[in-house]
Amino acid sequence: MARNPRAAAQRATAARVRANRDLNIWQRERILAEACTRRAAQANRAYADRLMAGREALPAKGSLEGKNLARLAALADQGKIDGKYLYFQDYWYHTREA
């Protein structure tokens, strides 16, 4: 009988998580392929760029889109991505003092 591919993927992910548990962050093996995460990041940045250009309406705070914008603003604040995404710091659900 053929194995369920979804179950096999879940077992492989669980094995990676167990192997990574005792390692520091620089030694850990990536759980998701970089190609998957890169596409998602590019899509989030493209959406933010469309919002800044005024081509789409701003989403509600607390919505999934708003949380993605808050994440972009936080990454920009840390200097990990372009500082233009600080435009969305109003979507943060915390303050710098907290």
**Residue 37 to residues 16, 31, 34, 96, Cα–Cα distance (Å):** 17, 10, 5, 27
Q: Is the pTM of this model over 0.75?
A: no
User: CA–CA separation, 29 vs 80, rounded Å?
Assistant: 21
- Cα angle 63, 91, 85; round to 5: 115
**CA nearest to 62, candidates 50, 70, 54:** 70
- Return the pLDDT at 31: 80
For residue range 18-65, list pLDDT tens digits in order: 989 888 878 888 887 777 788 889 999 999 999 999 999 999 988 999
Residue type, 85: Y
